[in-house]
């Protein structure tokens, strides 16, 4: 037993968003790793510097440079394997995408006629024209996944605790400071961690030792309501250039998320009240069932909270890379933009492979 402990490599995962927690979870499958997760923000916090709580978070495929479609799908679908606790509560059987008539000839259509993922998501089919709302040319329905982030992030924490991973608060002013944050390490240069996982999301833009200039925010704004939509909806476009319209029904009493926007380069952390009004108006138009089909729709919405989050986007796509910073071995896993949940397992698997290679090959 003592011998096995001595052989363990000490790893510090920086960040407790979905990327850090998932990476720590996959690392914890290897008994040769002793893991500490250290972060400024933890599940339960709501902060503009912490993207994960604000996500929808559904699975509606987007391409991430450097990550294959298969990884992306496989990644999120893993949370719903039969037999896991998450198997039932994140399944969304009634998802619909609608293409507006005015978006049909768009040079960059949001929804392809025959998307590459149509054979991967169960029940994918075209909605008959007679069932489409006014102003909609085509629509598709399918089964997908929607994560209730308010319970999913603590769920990941519970899996980590069951695997003897230690979690703690820490704020690092240089990435290599984390080398002294392992729970068995005393602050002595000869006793530092063997590996750091950098899962700091957008903060990698300014974190000394990383300072990645390719990172930028894509601001998202949402409204969480108590009303039930009985399904997910996503519209091809709106009349405001950087605004969208989507509805995500959260499992287990999580409410319904109404979105949203994709404001590239905006750091604004406060709620834009006028935009919130437009988000709610569009949601009621898209799904009148939210308010029981009543005419004065938006007034029928029962708001739990307004949300603003910054998607950690990166020119060139997600960074999953190994490097040595000032003599400390680091594997990066950040820059997942608006797909951090749906590619969480796929990206974490790539990161863990890099850890294995760096520590054992």
Ligand X SMILES: Cc1cc2nc3c(=O)[nH]c(=O)nc-3n(C[C@H](O)[C@H](O)[C@H](O)COP(=O)(O)OP(=O)(O)OC[C@H]3O[C@@H](n4cnc5c(N)ncnc54)[C@H](O)[C@@H]3O)c2cc1C
Instruction: Give the contact letters, 6-35, x = binds to ligand X (CB under 6 A), - = no.
Output: --------xxxxxxx---------------
Q: If you compute the radius of gyration of the chain from its CA atoms, what whole number of angstroms results?
A: 21
291 binds ligand X (CB under 6 A): no
Q: Candidates 11, 199, 320, 354: give the one binding ligand X (CB under 6 A).
A: 199
Judging by DSSP bridges, how do beta strands 195-198 and 328-334 pair with one another?
Answer: parallel
Is 75 assigned a ligand-binding role in the annotation?
A: no
Q: Candidates 144, 203, 263, 266: give the one binding ligand X (CB under 6 A).
A: 203
Region 76-95 residues binding ligand X, contact defined as CB under 6 A: none
Shortest Å, Cβ 222 to ligand X: 5
Is 311 assigned a ligand-binding role in the annotation?
A: yes
55 binds ligand X (CB under 6 A): yes
Shortest Å, Cβ 208 to ligand X: 9
Is 79 assigned a ligand-binding role in the annotation?
A: no
Q: Candidates 26, 35, 50, 182: give the one binding ligand X (CB under 6 A).
A: 50
Instruction: Give the contact letters, 246-275, x = binds to ligand X (CB under 6 A), - = no.
Output: --------------x---------------
- Residue pair 44/158 in contact (Cβ under 8 Å)? The answer is no
Shortest Å, Cβ 126 to ligand X: 23
Q: Point out which residues bind ligand X (CB under 6 A).
A: 14-20, 39-41, 50-52, 54-58, 170-172, 199-201, 203, 207, 220, 222, 260, 309-312, 334, 336-342
């Amino acid at each position: 037993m003592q011998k096995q402990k001595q052989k363990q490599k000490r790893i510090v995962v920086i960040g407790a968003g979905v990327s850090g927690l998932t990476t720590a979870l996959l690392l914890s499958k290897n008994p040769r790793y002793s893991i500490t997760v250290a972060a400024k923000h933890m599940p339960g916090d709501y902060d503009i510097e912490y993207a994960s709580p604000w996500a929808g978070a559904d699975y509606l495929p987007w391409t991430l440079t450097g990550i294959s479609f298969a990884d992306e799908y496989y990644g999120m679908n893993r949370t719903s394997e039969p037999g896991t606790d998450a198997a039932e509560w994140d399944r969304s059987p009634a998802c619909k995408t609608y293409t507006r008539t005015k978006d049909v000839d768009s040079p960059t259509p949001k929804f392809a006629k025959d998307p590459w993922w149509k054979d991967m998501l169960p029940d994918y089919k075209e909605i008959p024209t007679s069932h489409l709302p006014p102003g909609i040319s085509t629509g598709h329905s399918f089964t997908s996944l929607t994560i209730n982030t308010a319970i999913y992030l603590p769920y990941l924490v519970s899996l980590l605790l069951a695997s003897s991973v230690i979690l703690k608060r820490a704020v690092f002013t240089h990435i290599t400071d984390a080398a002294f944050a392992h729970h068995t390490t005393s602050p002595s240069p000869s006793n530092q961690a063997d590996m750091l996982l950098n899962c700091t999301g957008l903060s990698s833009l300014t974190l000394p030792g990383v300072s990645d200039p390719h990172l930028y925010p894509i601001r998202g704004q949402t409204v969480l309501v108590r009303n039930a939509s009985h399904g997910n909806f996503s519209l091809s476009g709106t009349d405001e250039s950087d605004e969208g319209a989507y509805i995500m029904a959260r499992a287990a009493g999580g409410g319904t998320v109404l979105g949203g926007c994709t404001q590239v380069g905006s750091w604004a952390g406060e709620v834009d009240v006028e935009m919130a009004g437009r988000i709610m108006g569009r949601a009621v138009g898209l799904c009148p069932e939210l308010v029981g089909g009543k005419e004065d729709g938006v007034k029928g919405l029962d708001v739990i909270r307004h949300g603003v989050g910054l998607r950690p986007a990166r020119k060139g796509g997600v960074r999953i890379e190994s490097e040595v910073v000032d003599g400390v071995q680091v594997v990066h896993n950040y820059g997942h933009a608006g797909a951090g949940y749906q590619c969480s397992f796929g990206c974490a698997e790539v990161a863990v492979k890099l850890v294995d290679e760096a520590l054992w090959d």
